[in-house]
Structure 1
Amino acid sequence: MKVYIESYGCTFNKADGQIIAGILQENEIDIVDSIEKADVIIVNTCYVKLPTENKITYRIQKLQKDFPDKKIIIGGCMVEIDAEKLDKIAPDCSWIGPHQLNKSAKIVEATYCGNVVREYGFSKESKVNVPKLVDDGLIHIIQICEGCLGVCTFCCTRFARGPLNSYPIADIKEEARKAIENGACEIQLTAQDTAAFGRDSGEKLSDLIKEVANLDGDFRIRVGMMHPKNILNDVDEIIDAMKHPKVYDFIHLPVQSGSDKVLSDMRRGHTVNQYLDVVSKFRKEIPDLTLAVDIIVGYPTETDDDFKSTIELLENIKPSLIHLSKYQHRKGAVSSSLPEIPHEVMKKRSKLLSEIKSKITEEENKDLVGSVQKVLVVEKGSKGGFIAKTDSYIPVIVDDAKLGTCVKVKITEATSTYLKSQLLE
């Protein structure tokens, strides 16, 4: 029996796909690199945005049409968020819910034999120290907790991932240790909200970062997205932990809007001033910090003045990375009951923010041209060369280097998304 897996969406979901593959491999089920070689296809879905939903829906339907003789299993967030639609477009497909990965082998074997098996619903099963099939071993993803404490009105992912379930620091540290011994040079600590880690178990993100950073080996740690609301209780300790030389000077801190009114409507649980205070503290203690933010354009209650406040916020903090999303209704989300703003208004605001985004990020990167950087080479580039990361987690293109090594480069060119470099040693 041969299985092909394709995963969509966030780092966390990618790790789910690696766990599915690891469990199958442990049960002597072959993982193949193309659909043509496979008997069973697993589509590990993302459902965070409407364009993603449309892409996933089209993909499932196309696979059924193009490969009628192959068995198909649907995994990921769509299983929990929109079972009604999934059953309609793929009535003969089995399901693996994101909390039921330990049953992957059983589901695959039953599906291969012609049965439709659907396992879903929440579970407290740990996703640490379980079988995992990693692509190259250089970048190792560890899911430190699943679920969140948020009640954001626009989000449907929380319906798929459920309430917060943190995994023990000792277990996470042990998985990191094994990964580093096996050649990993980058450990990615991921979650729906890493700042919520331990709020249900009495442990703290700052302690987790320190424990992993103090492991032996030459590696770097990337800490995943943190909700501003949940970082407030431990901000000084987290900053102290992130000063460790093995931790990238990088935070992903979504703000979503620069308007307190819209943040309240979104039920984000923090104000603009609280957000600015956190950013200020980080930048004071970590001067070379790369700040990544998320912005939702056109939330249903966003007025022209609210939008102007978002522009002012971005021009004030000048983040290194800006992830923009046009607001769209999501299944089950509270805000989906509100009327959307006119499409032309949404389009105009999105275009303006995109221009501001490009200007800010390109200027940020241009400041690095001519500088000498120590970078970690983490993967091959899709168009040749290699991709390395600065200590601030900025991507740098290196023409020739050895994967997994730290090299010195001179930055020769900058774009809004990456840097080009010349190898110095």
Structure 2
Amino acid sequence: MKVFIESYGCTFNQADGQIIAGNLQENGMVLVDNIGEADVIIVNTCYVKLPTEDKMTYRIQKLKKEYPDKKIIVGGCMVEIDPEKLNKLGEDISWIGPHQLNKSASVVNASYCGEIIRETGFSKESKVGVPKVGDDSLIHILQICEGCLGACTFCCTRFARGPLNSYSIEDIVAEAQEAIENGACEIQLTAQDTAAFGRDSGVKLSDLIKEVANLNGDFRVRVGMMHPKNILNDVDGIIDAIKHLKVYDFIHLPVQSGSDKVLSDMRRGHTISQYKEIVSKFKKEIPSLTLAVDIIVGYPTESDEDFGETVKLLKEIKPSLIHLSKYQHRIGAISSSLVEIPHEIMKKRSKFLSEIKQEITKEENKELVNTVQNVLVVEKGSKGGYIAKTNSYIPVIVEDVELGTFVNVKITEATSTYLKSELLEE
């Protein structure tokens, strides 16, 4: 039997797709890159935003129309968040919930034989150390925990991922070691909230980072998104861990709004004062730090004054990366009962922040022009050349290098999203 898998969304969901592939291959199924060759198509969905929901819906409908003779199975967050809509897309579609990946082969077998199987519900089963089939990338995604401790009013992902379930440090380190031995040069520690790791088992994220970073080999560790409220218990420990030579000087610390009132309405669990204190500590101890933030523009209770506070915060902390999202209702989310602000206002605010984002990030990157950077070459560029990462996790375009190697480059040009460079002779 031949199976085609396509995964959407976050790094964690990409890793889920690798687990599905590993389970199928372990059970004798053939994975194909050409959808036309497949007997079964698996769509591993993302459902975080409304445009993504529309994209998933359209994709499933299109596949059913274009490939009426192939079996289609849906996995990912859509399965748990919106089974009603999924059912309307076809009563003949089988499902694999994100906590039921170990049953992937049985669902595919049953579906191929004409049965409709829908595996859903939460599980405490670990996703570490299980068979995985990646894309031969030098980047290894390592899931350290699933679920979260949050109650954010705008989020529907928590309904798919459930309560926090941290995996064993020993198992995580063992998988990292195996990946490095197999040629991985970048280990990405990922979760819905890496800062929540161990809060249910009594261990700390900082200890995990250090154990992975202390493994033998030439590699870098990237730590995924951390919720500010959960980093508060171990700020100094995490700073110390990120100072390790093998860990990128990078943190992804979503703030979502610069207004304490809006943060309270969102049930974020932290204040702007606490957030700025965290950022200040990191930047003081790690001057080369790359700070990535997330901002939701136009939350239903966001006034002009609240928006002004967000502008003020961004200009003050000057993050190197800013991810902007216009607010939209999500199924099951508490904020969906609120009245959305006029879309013209939301659009205007988003455009204003986008311009600020371009200014801040380009200015930050400009400071690196004419500097010499030791970069890790991680992947081929889509338009030629190679993509490398500085120690601060900033992407650099470089020519004529070997994947998986560290090289010295001189930065020649800066944009708001990446750097250009020339290779220096050894």
Name the CA distance, whole Å, in 1 between partners of 2:74 and 2:168: 29
**Long gaps (5+) in structure 2:** none
Q: CA deviation at 1:234?
A: 0.4
Aligned partners of 2:137 and 2:379 also within 8 Å:
no
Secondary structure of 1:4 counterpart? strand
How many angstroms apart in 2 are the aligned matches of 1:392 and 1:57? Answer: 37
SS of corresponding position for 2:126: coil
Counterpart in the other structure of 1:8: 8
The one-letter amino acid of 1:307's match is: F
Do the aligned residues in 1 keep the contact of 2:148 with 2:192 (CA within 8 Å)? yes
Deviations 1:20-69 (A, max 9, x none): 00111111101100211111000000000000000110000000001111
**Secondary structure in 1 aligned to 2:409?**
strand
The 3-state SS of whatever aligns with 1:369 is: coil
Find the aligned partners of 2:91 and 2:346 in 1 and give their Cα distance.
36
Mapped pair 1:319 → 2:291? no
Kindly indicate whether residue 16 of structure 2 is the aligned counterpart of residue 38 of structure 1. no
Q: Give the Cα separation in 2 of the matches to 1:400 and 1:278.
A: 40
C-alpha separation between the residues in 1 aligned to 2:407 and 2:149?
40
Alignment match, 2:286: 286
Match of 1:367 in 2: 367
C-alpha deviations, 1:173-214, integer Å up to 9, x for none? 000000000000000000000000000001100000010000
Aligned to 1:194: 194
Distance 1:381 1:25 in 2: 29
**Structure 2 counterpart of 1:297, one-letter code:** V
Please give the alpha-carbon distance, in whole angstroms, between the structure 2 residues aligned to 1:335 and 1:84: 20
1:75 match: 75
- RMSD over equivalenced CA pairs, Å: 0.5
**Residue-by-residue CA offset, 1:196-250 (whole Å, 9 max, x unaligned):** 0000001100000010000000000000000000000000001001100000000
Shift of 1:166: 0.1
| Match in the other structure for 2:397 | 397
Q: Residue 87 in 1 paired to residue 108 in 2?
A: no
Residue 24 of structure 2 corresponds to 24
SS at match of 1:232: helix
Cα-to-partner distance string for 1:80-136 (whole Å, 9 max, x where unaligned) = 000000000122110000000000010111111111110010000100000001111
Match of 2:210 in 1: 210
Q: Deviations over 1:365-421 (max 9, x none)?
A: 111111110000000111111100000000001111100000000111111111111
Map 1:118-133 → 2, pairs under 5 A: 118-133=118-133
Taking the aligned partners of 2:175 and 2:226, their CA distance within structure 1 comes to 22
Q: How does 1:322-341 map to 2 (within 5 A)?
A: 322-341=322-341
1:113 aligns with 113
* SS of residue in 1 equivalent to 2:141: strand
Identical counterparts, % of pairs: 80
Alignment partner, residue 414 of structure 2: 414
TM-aligned CA deviation for residue 72 of structure 1:
0.3
Q: Hey, which bits of structure 1, 4+ residues long, moved more than 6 A? A: none
Deviations 1:329-375 (A, max 9, x none): 00000000000000110010000001000111111111111111000
- Which residue is 2:386 aligned to? 386
The worse-fitting range, judged by mean Cα deviation, of 355-364 and 155-164 is 355-364
Q: Supply the distance in 1 between the matched residues of 2:300 and 2:211 (Cα, whole angstroms).
A: 43
Equivalent residue runs for 1:148-227 within 5 Å: 148-227=148-227
Q: Secondary structure at the match of 1:404?
A: coil
Output the CA distance in 2 between the equivalents of 1:48 and 1:394.
Answer: 25
How many corresponding residue pairs?
425
Name stretches of at least 5 consecutive residues in structure 1 with no aligned partner. none
Query: Could you tell me how far 1:137 is from its partner in structure 2?
Result: 3.9
How many angstroms apart in 2 are the aligned matches of 1:137 and 1:100? 25
Q: Distance in 2 between matches of 1:285 and 1:328?
A: 37
Normalising by structure 1, what TM-score?
0.99
SS of 1:412's partner is strand
- Indicate the SS of the match to 2:296: strand
Matches within 5 A, 1:130-145: 130-145=130-145
Distance 1:268 1:182 in 2: 40
SS in 1 for 2:74: strand
2:308 corresponds in structure 1 to 308
**Using the alignment, how far apart are the partners of 1:58 and 1:30 within structure 2?**
27
Normalised by the length of structure 2, the TM-score is 0.99
1:240 paired residue number = 240
Deviations for 1:140-164, whole angstroms, at most 9, x for unmatched residues?
0010000000000000000000000
Quick check: 1:349 aligned with 2:349? Answer: yes
Range moving further from structure 2, 130-139 or 196-205: 130-139
How do residues 234-273 of structure 1 correspond to structure 2 at under 5 angstroms?
234-273=234-273
CA distance in 1, matches of 2:315, 2:5: 42
